[in-house]
Amino acid sequence: MKNFDHLYRIDNPSFLKNLSIDKLYLLSEQIRDFLIESLSHTGGHVSSNLGVIELTIALHYIFDFEKDKLIFDVGHQCYTHKILTGRAKFFDSLRKFNGLSGFPRRCESNFDIWETGHSSTSLSAALALAVSRDFKKTSENIISVIGDGALTGGMALEALNNIGYEQKKLLIILNDNQMSISKNICALMPKNNNTNIYESSSCISNLKKNESINFSMKQFFQSINLNYSGPIDGHNIKSLIDALNKIKNISRPSVLHIITKKGKGLHTAENDNIGSWHGIGPFDKSTGLKIKSKNQNHRAWGSIVSETVERLAKKDKNIVCISPAMTKGSKLEFFKNKFPDRTFDVGIAEQHAATFSGALALSNLKPIFFVYSTFLQRAYDQVIHDIARQNINLLIAVDKCGFATGDGDTHHGIYDISFLRPIPNISIVMPKDQIEAQHLLYNCLYNYENKGIISYRYPRGYSNLTHVPHFKNIEFGSWTVEKEGNDLTILTFGPMLKVAHDIYDFFKTKDISIKIVNARFIKPMDEDMLHKIFKSNMPIVTIEEACKIGGFGSGICEFAIKHKYKNDIEVFGIEDNFFHQGDTDNLRKISGLNTEFMIDKIKALTYIH
């Protein structure tokens, strides 16, 4: 193993200014070796970080980010920035509980001045910092690094328009690697039909031979009053330094267009065009192969859902799938291979994806809008205004519900129940396992097709996949009893049913019998069963790996108040707080969703002795 002590000793990037160009190149090689070595053990965002090493070194060489301001859009390109600002020694804790965040984190360093996890926010923040600077009559430089498909986000384009109008001095680095997670969906970017400039970092000669390739980009930025330079080779440190020196004193908003290779230095990542190496677990750095996990024989929840959709789509030509740049993440790549004309990756554009899906549904198609819970937040207005208000029937496949483990608070899928539940014309369901997942999905498409929006939730993680031989009907809004009991009722759904069974087993040894209910319909609730439960006068416990305020438990309390029931109710959910990254067990423990904590709380309820 190589010795990286010299990187561990870095505490401030000011040392860069004393290095020659050759030594800067040497440093870039050392950082690339360090990242490949370190990430092979911890996992993380591999490709995006390997692609911006030279750029980050050049930025810290030219600017002083103790005074100047640097924002990475999305934020998953910040690893070299963290190394240069004194955090290399913490990389063994990357994305772990109480460890180093995989994104910029203000509490980690004064060099992290804006936190990013979702895309397309950096330009708005950069303009605000430029406006604030001019109000205060200070002179710091403001730099935004935007790439990995983030320019396709509507918010970025809104900010560009405002930047062009305000004409504040700031610098936008457009990191063009032709990728989002997988291939970029962006009509603004030039298509590489004539040269190999996107196939190699040695692109300068090719660019000079074919200046027409960047004409559309230059014309676009100049049309909104932005100074444009480039494109240049984003792995050539000398070219980057020369360009930054020329552009840094321009008194109006400027764009520097650079060409980089996502995953540079790791051959498997460089050759990945479907997103397999965007964010991964541990891997063998010598072979470039991923290390098989304990779940290697299981199927990701996203695969269970997408494979069921494929099965149904073979017989139903009206099924189409929509994804906002998450074809790989939502496990839709196989669906896309089989049904390319029925798969629409719209780029990083959740708002557009929602409205597009809703309008497709009005044409007698069966669109399924695949989106992570954390990204559905970005389409909230469209869900209300464009879809629910018109009472359009649309299935939203809400992936990665619950804690997001290594990605942390920017990605936890814990708010969707609370923000969707108040909306009219919307239902929320969550299957308990992969068998029920298939049956519920079938029913959502064919038996609940006139129920407005159906939010079909499922978690991250893995399960066995056994294809059901045929689909069975499930009554809309119905719950099922998992265990009978007379002393207490637990109402829960999805993965938390396993926790309920653990609680059941504990109290069974104390001769206390607990009824467990699979409340698979979060909205509407099974009111007939609820009345029976409340009339039994048993205490009621609700459990959800989701926001407590406005969530499923809140709905149970609302039902009790409406019908004047007096039963004791204990609501377990995620409290009013943000939680950083970590493994599921620790995240559940600090949020009060671990079995031991809930057992202690339940012991104090009426009738439980």
Q: CA–CA distance from 63 to each of 44, 50, 60, 127, 495 (Å)?
A: 27, 21, 5, 18, 48
Q: Helices then strands (H, E): number in the chain?
A: 23, 21
Q: DSSP code of 291?
A: P
Give the distance from CA 365 to its chain's centroid.
28
Provide the angle, in degrees to the nearest 10, between the axes of the packed helices 595-603 and 496-508. 50
| Residues in CB range of 467: below 8 A, 6 or more apart | 307, 311, 438
Token couple for 128 = 């605000």
CA distance 415 to 546: 6
Q: Is residue 97 a contact partner of residue 106, using CB atoms and an 8 Å limit?
A: no
Token couple for 597 = 């904590």
Neighbours of 472 (CB within 10 A): 11
Q: Which residue(s) pair with 283 in the sheet?
A: 290
Which residue's entry shows tokens 């200046």?
A: 211
Q: Is residue 410 a contact partner of residue 579, using CB atoms and an 8 Å limit?
A: no
CA distance 379 to 348: 11
Q: CA–CA distance from 69 to each of 112, 130, 171 (Å)?
A: 9, 9, 10
Q: Is residue 480 a contact partner of residue 528, using CB atoms and an 8 Å limit?
A: no
Q: CA–CA distance from 406 to each of 94, 412, 436, 458, 586 (Å)?
A: 8, 10, 28, 18, 12
Q: Is residue 57 a contact partner of residue 19, using CB atoms and an 8 Å limit?
A: no
| Residues in CB range of 140: below 8 A, 6 or more apart | 67, 68, 69, 133
Neighbours of 508 (CB within 10 A): 13
Amino acid identity of residue 479, one-letter, is W
Token couple for 19 = 């290095």
Amino acid identity of residue 248, one-letter, is K
Catalytic residues: 262, 350, 378
CA distance 341 to 306: 16
Q: Is residue 407 a contact partner of residue 581, using CB atoms and an 8 Å limit?
A: yes
CA distance 207 to 102: 34
Amino acid identity of residue 432, one-letter, is K
Which DSSP helix (H) or strand (E) runs through 488?
strand 488-492
